[in-house]
């Protein structure tokens, strides 16, 4: 029995300039370019095995059969890889997801990056990193950024087929070490998925045009700050960009509000710390948790002070991490 098998590991990433809105729902083509840091914790390790003898696809998540909804996303993605390879083999996909829901990070970024890499390698597709990025994007948009380590830009591209919509590395994880603290706040689980929030914003918010008008400039400013290692310049643009993304949602019909009271507590605390002279900034994804950026020298004091807030439940500390690695 011939089994075509590969295992890959990918880290999740945190967007500094946000991806918000699709121009193509099937190919996961974004309305705007974005920029992220791939993190050194919270990864997914995925093994893909193709075999002629398998009569159906199977997806195991943390050694258990995944839900139909999650399985179907994986199977539709396998179809794209099979298409590329011109084969018609079923697969067993086994993922170990080390992105705890509690950490407030999406696991789809690391999940589809690892799956794209492992599936392509199992079928001997010999894709380069750019091609893996394009493939991963078709599972989950932000996954195309997790293919690379460090500081990563995802250029939106303009082609209809998405061949020019992929990520590339700006700086490696060794080039500039900063600290990213993921702050988990009390409150309810989010009621509107990112996918739905994004869609509703694009379709109904009168502010979406303003977002698109300014986000590419934000990205240029952030890139400049990263290339010249200007932390404060980066922090200000990152914070403003996150607030703008949330503002676009407040204009949607009906409005989308992801913030909880703890979100405000952390925001005001960060602004207070900044008044005391510590260069520290925040960003917020489509949810209530806050990600805090600071310099490694201030990491301990920022960590300790965040834990004093009654609405803060947990704080995870990360740093820039690597892109895809192949195991075995």
- Asked whether the CA dihedral 103, 105, 107, 113 is positive or negative, the reply is negative
69 class by beta-carbon count within 10 Å (0-12 exposed, 13-18 middle, 19+ buried): exposed
Query: Quick one: which of 38, 248, 283, 289 contacts its own copies (CB under 8 A)?
Result: 248
Interface with its own copies by CB under 8 A: which range of 33-41, 90-98, 239-247, 300-308?
239-247
53 lies in the binding site for its own copies (CB under 8 A): no
| Dist. CA 97–CA 42, nearest whole Å | 8
Kindly identify the residues of this chain, within the stretch 179-198, that bind its own copies according to CB under 8 A.
187-188
238 lies in the binding site for its own copies (CB under 8 A): no
R_g (Cα) of the chain, nearest Å: 20
324 class by beta-carbon count within 10 Å (0-12 exposed, 13-18 middle, 19+ buried): buried
Question: Which residues, other chains included, contact 142 with Cβ-Cβ below 8 Å and sequence gap of 6+?
Answer: 13, 15, 19, 34, 36, 106, 108, 109, 154
261 lies in the binding site for its own copies (CB under 8 A): yes
Shortest gap between Cβ of 259 and its own copies (angstroms)?
Answer: 6
Interface with its own copies by CB under 8 A: which range of 95-103, 116-124, 175-183, 261-269?
261-269
Q: For its own copies, which is the closer residue by CB, 95 or 288?
A: 288
33 lies in the binding site for its own copies (CB under 8 A): no
Interface with its own copies by CB under 8 A: which range of 33-41, 67-75, 199-207, 297-305?
199-207
279 lies in the binding site for its own copies (CB under 8 A): no
207 lies in the binding site for its own copies (CB under 8 A): yes
């Amino acid at each position: 029995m011939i089994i075509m098998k590969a295992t890959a590991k990918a880290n999740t990433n945190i967007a500094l300039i946000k991806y918000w809105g699709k121009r193509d729902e099937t190919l996961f083509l974004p309305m705007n370019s974005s920029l992220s840091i791939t993190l050194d914790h919270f990864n997914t390790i995925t093994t893909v095995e193709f075999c002629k003898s398998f009569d159906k696809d199977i997806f195991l998540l943390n050694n258990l059969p995944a839900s139909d909804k999650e399985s179907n996303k994986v199977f539709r993605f396998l179809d794209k890889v099979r298409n590329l390879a011109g084969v018609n083999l079923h697969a067993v996909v086994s993922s170990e997801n080390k992105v705890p829901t509690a950490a407030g990070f999406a696991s789809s970024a690391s999940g589809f990056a690892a799956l794209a890499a492992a599936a392509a390698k199992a079928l001997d597709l010999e894709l380069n990193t750019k091609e893996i990025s394009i493939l991963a994007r078709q599972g989950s948009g932000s996954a195309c950024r997790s293919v690379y380590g460090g500081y990563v830009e995802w250029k939106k591209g303009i082609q209809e087929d998405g061949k020019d919509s992929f990520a590339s590395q700006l700086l490696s994880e060794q080039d500039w070490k900063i600290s990213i603290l993921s702050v988990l706040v009390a409150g309810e689980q989010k009621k509107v998925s990112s996918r739905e929030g994004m869609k509703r914003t694009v379709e109904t918010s009168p502010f979406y045009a303003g977002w698109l008008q300014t986000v590419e400039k934000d990205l240029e400013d952030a890139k400049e700050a990263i290339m010249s290692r200007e932390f404060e310049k980066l922090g200000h643009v990152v914070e403003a960009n996150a607030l703008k993304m949330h503002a676009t949602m407040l204009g949607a019909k009906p409005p989308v509000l992801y913030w909880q009271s703890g979100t405000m507590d952390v925001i005001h605390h960060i602004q207070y710390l900044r008044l005391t002279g510590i260069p520290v900034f925040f960003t917020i994804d489509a949810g209530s948790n806050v990600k805090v950026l600071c310099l490694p020298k201030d990491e301990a004091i920022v960590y300790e002070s965040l834990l004093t807030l009654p609405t803060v439940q947990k704080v995870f500390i990360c740093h820039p991490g690597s892109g895809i690695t192949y195991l075995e």
